[in-house]
Amino acid sequence: MSRRHLRAASPSRLHSRSPARFALGAVLLAVPLLLALLGPVTAGLPGPRGASFTTGGGHPLGTDFAGQDVWRQLLLGGRSVVVIALAATVAAYVIALPLAFSAALTHRAWLEELLMRPLDVLLAVPSLLMVLLVATVFAPGAAGLALLVALINVPDAARLVRAAAAEAAARPAVEALRLQGESWWRIAVGYVARSCLRTLAADAGVRMTGVLYLVATAAFLGVGVDPDAADWAVMVDRNRTGLFVQPWAVVVPALLIVALSMGTNLLGDTALAERSAPRLPRGGPRSGAAAPARHFSRVSRSPRTTKGSAR
């Protein structure tokens, strides 16, 4: 390997990229979160309606299809998307983690089959199709949509966590804990769950993005929210007819949803990179390079000692 490639893969260059990625992810995540959490407090009372799809006239981002102020609709429409997505992600892990750890730590094959095989059946159904099928039976509200999206994400999350937990449960340390009489809870949470933290962190960022996409798509199709509700996804749906006349009513809420997804992924990737990056010893590279040399000198002397002892 050339010196240029070694320099490109050095830990110092990897660490130099982390602050920039962290700052970018924090900014992308903070903007939609602040709008979603503080927007309804600062939105104020609705003003007089103007003409549809116009700009100016006291409206910073123009008006939507109903003549309402787009900026005020943005302030009011983020909380539902963020709260439903967060609630669905947390609920999915609350259901998936006990199932995955129980299947990974059990020695009974029938119990593992009983826990995991029904999830495979649910995994075969497309997510959006499941949402539409449930919506045809009854109209779920915000809480119903969060629970539905959580149940849709349980099979995938449980299979991924079960695979990581099974690898950790097969280690000799787990058998030693069992022989010491440790409880199932201590083994599952104290050792196996800690071994799966990196996998869970990586999956949480990707799953949050998928949940946001599913929640926004469901709201775009009118599932889980009222047709006249202030919601970022609903804004994209209702104002798409005036995209080329007044694009801010469509582009800005869509960009906020994209920023929320990208910020979550960037922060998760940065945390994983910092956790897995190699760390140099305090003495610097020279002290770290001297240890192998001393070790090699001891190894090189061993044949002489062996030959002398054989004589």
Residue 276 pLDDT: 59
CA distance 34 to 28: 11
298 or 59, greater pLDDT: 59
Residue 17 pLDDT: 61
Cα 175 to Cα 150, 166, 168, distances in angstroms: 33, 13, 11
Q: 130: buried, middle or exposed (CB in 10 Å: 19+, 13-18, 0-12)?
A: middle
Question: Taking 50 as the threshold, does the pLDDT of residue 304 lie above it?
Answer: no
Question: Taking 70 as the threshold, does the pLDDT of residue 140 lie above it?
Answer: yes
pLDDT digits (tens, 9 = 90+) for 141-169: 888 889 999 999 999 999 999 988 888 88
CA distance 205 to 268: 6
> Structure tokens of 18?
């982390």
pLDDT band, very low/low/confident/very high, at 277 (cuts 50, 70, 90): low
Please state the φ and ψ torsions of residue 185, each to the nearest 5 degrees. -65, -40
Residue 94 pLDDT: 94
Angle of the 70-105 helix axis to the 11-42 helix axis, nearest 10: 130
Question: Taking 50 as the threshold, does the pLDDT of residue 210 lie above it?
Answer: yes
- Residue 189 is classified by DSSP as I
Angle of the 142-169 helix axis to the 70-105 helix axis, nearest 10: 40
When mean pLDDT is compared across 58-62, 63-67, 299-303, the lowest value belongs to 299-303
Read off the pLDDT of each residue in 232-242 and give the average, rounded to a whole number.
85
Residue 239 pLDDT: 87
Residue 274 pLDDT: 64
Question: Taking 50 as the threshold, does the pLDDT of residue 90 lie above it?
Answer: yes
Q: 275: buried, middle or exposed (CB in 10 Å: 19+, 13-18, 0-12)?
A: exposed
Residue 147 pLDDT: 92
CA distance 159 to 164: 9
Are 89 and 211 a contacting pair, CB within 8 Å? Answer: yes
pLDDT digits (tens, 9 = 90+) for 95-119: 999 999 888 888 788 888 888 888 8
236 Cβ neighbours under 8 A, 6+ residues apart: 220, 250, 253, 254
CA distance 49 to 73: 12
When mean pLDDT is compared across 188-202, 218-232, 292-306, the lowest value belongs to 292-306
> Structure tokens of 238?
């209702």
265 Cβ neighbours under 8 A, 6+ residues apart: 25, 205, 206, 209
